[in-house]
């Protein structure tokens, strides 16, 4: 093989190696992606049963039921839809009815969201932008009367 052919083989091997590394990297990232959903999004188009998602909404007043041990059931809503949630573990100190939360988990075939982790918002000003858009009216206040008002949430356009 001439010197020029050796260089071409080396460049070709380098391009193939970089392409393979990029393909493997993108595949790994795609498998580990978590999308944010609201109860309305889940009702409109449920994610696949094996998809790990983040579900955000407000805990419906009167829906929290404590079971045996650390088992808890509650309903999460976004003013348009509600979704039952099942969780086993220690809830954050800020968790309460009417509170905004984000839960990580999977939607089961029975339509119940099984949470692996529950996070409560830290102060009255925080809310995921997608959820704030669904919950606020033109004045910037919470549009659902059954939940406490969320001030400072801005509607994105």
Provide the residue ranges of all domains of the chain, joining segments of one domain with +: 1-33, 35-135
pLDDT tens digit sequence for 34-61: 778 888 888 888 888 778 888 988 888 8
pLDDT score at 155: 34
Average pLDDT over residues 77-84: 85
pLDDT tens digit sequence for 100-135: 888 999 988 888 999 999 988 665 555 566 666 666
User: Is 126 annotated for ligand binding?
Assistant: yes
Which one-letter DSSP state was computed for residue 91? P
User: Among 91, 130, 108, 119, which residue's Cα sits nearest to residue 52?
Assistant: 108
pTM: 0.63
User: Is 122 annotated for ligand binding?
Assistant: yes
pLDDT score at 156: 35
Residue 146 pLDDT > 80, yes or no? no
Structure confidence at residue 142 as a pLDDT band (50, 70, 90): low
pLDDT score at 14: 95
pLDDT score at 79: 74
C-beta atoms surrounding 14 within 10 Å: 10
Calpha distance 49→7 (Å, rounded) = 49
pLDDT score at 137: 59
Superfamily of domain 35-135, CATH level 4 = Nucleic acid-binding proteins (2.40.50.140)
pLDDT score at 67: 87
Higher pLDDT, 17 or 98: 17
User: Among 59, 32, 50, 51, which residue's Cα sits nearest to residue 120?
Assistant: 59
Q: What percent of the chain has pLDDT over 90?
A: 27
E strands present in the chain: 35-37, 53-59, 65-66, 71-77, 82-88, 100-107, 113-120
Residue 9 pLDDT > 90, yes or no? yes
């Amino acid at each position: 093989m001439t010197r020029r052919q050796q260089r071409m083989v080396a460049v070709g091997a380098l391009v193939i190696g970089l392409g393979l590394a990029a393909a493997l990297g993108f595949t790994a990232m795609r498998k580990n992606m978590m999308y944010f959903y609201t109860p309305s999004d889940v009702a409109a188009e449920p994610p696949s049963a094996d998809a790990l998602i983040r579900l955000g909404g407000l805990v419906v007043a009167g829906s929290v039921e404590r079971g045996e041990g650390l088992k808890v059931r509650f309903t999460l809503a976004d003013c348009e839809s509600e979704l039952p949630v099942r969780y086993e573990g220690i809830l954050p100190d800020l968790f309460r009815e009417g509170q905004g939360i984000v839960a990580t988990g999977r939607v089961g075939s029975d339509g119940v969201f099984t949470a692996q982790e529950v996070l409560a918002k830290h102060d009255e000003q925080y809310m995921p932008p997608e959820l704030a858009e669904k919950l606020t009216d033109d004045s910037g206040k919470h549009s659902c009367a059954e939940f406490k008002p969320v001030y400072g949430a801005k509607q994105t356009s």
